């Protein structure tokens, strides 16, 4: 399973990318708003992200609401950098836009996926990625992991990763990441704070402290 970082914060992206394990970036309007960014600076900001990690896909989301506008904005976003992926929310208009964008060689990440039919329709329209959400199910006391399991099974029944990859999204904890991996999601897109938590475990910290203490004994004995 590949790790994407789910943020629009350039500093977080650069830090996570420097670790060597990040294979992509996902952003959305809410994440961009958290950075304090302005509308006029959005495209320039996406260029900065794309340039900061030029060898991995970077999802930039369209806020258009009609098929024609989604296609136009998608083409404009894709032209910003060769690694830009156009992110669209699942709806009738975006399905048609996805089919058209694919004709132009533009990869689409279909987001806000919550059901098996939504995921399969996105795949059928030609989406390169589908992003089923986990944490938002938990917010309404439903089992997001179970829904992810259903989507992974259904998509992989009919499509291979060369056609569509599954991005497990709205992951908030290391356990979410673990479950996504066990279920066979191709990608986990993870906020920076949760990705940091994935790095740590009390036994790792305890073991490292013991190694350092023992090595000091070795060096002091010289």
Catalytic (active-site) positions? 87
Output the six-digit token pair for 214. 């023992």
Chain Cα centroid distance, residue 195 = 12
User: Around Cβ 40, how many Cβ atoms within 10 Å?
Assistant: 7
First to last CA, the chain: 45
The whole-angstrom separation of Cα 13 and Cα 5 is: 7
Cβ–Cβ under 8 Å, residues 81 and 61: no
Cβ–Cβ under 8 Å, residues 16 and 22: yes
């Amino acid at each position: 399973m590949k790790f994407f970082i789910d943020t629009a914060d350039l500093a977080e992206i650069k830090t996570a990318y420097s670790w060597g394990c990040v294979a992509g970036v996902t952003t959305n309007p809410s994440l961009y708003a958290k950075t304090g960014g302005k509308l006029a600076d959005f495209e320039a900001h996406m260029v900065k992200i794309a340039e900061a990690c030029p060898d991995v896909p970077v999802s930039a989301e369209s806020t258009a609401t009609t098929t024609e506008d989604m296609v136009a904005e998608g083409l404009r976003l894709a032209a910003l950098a060769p690694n830009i992926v156009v992110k669209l929310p699942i709806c009738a208009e975006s399905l048609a836009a996805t089919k058209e964008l694919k004709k132009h060689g533009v990869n689409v990440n279909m987001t806000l996926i919550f059901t098996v039919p939504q995921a399969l329709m996105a795949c059928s329209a030609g989406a390169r990625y589908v992003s089923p959400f986990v944490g938002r199910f938990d917010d309404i006391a439903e089992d997001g992991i179970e829904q992810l399991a259903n989507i992974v099974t259904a998509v992989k029944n009919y499509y291979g990763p060369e056609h569509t990859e599954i991005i497990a999204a709205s992951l908030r904890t290391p356990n979410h990441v673990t479950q996504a991996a066990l279920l066979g999601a191709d990608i986990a897109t993870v906020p920076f704070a949760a990705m940091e938590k994935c790095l740590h475990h009390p036994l790792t910290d305890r073991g490292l402290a013991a190694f350092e203490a023992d090595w000091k004994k070795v060096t002091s004995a010289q």
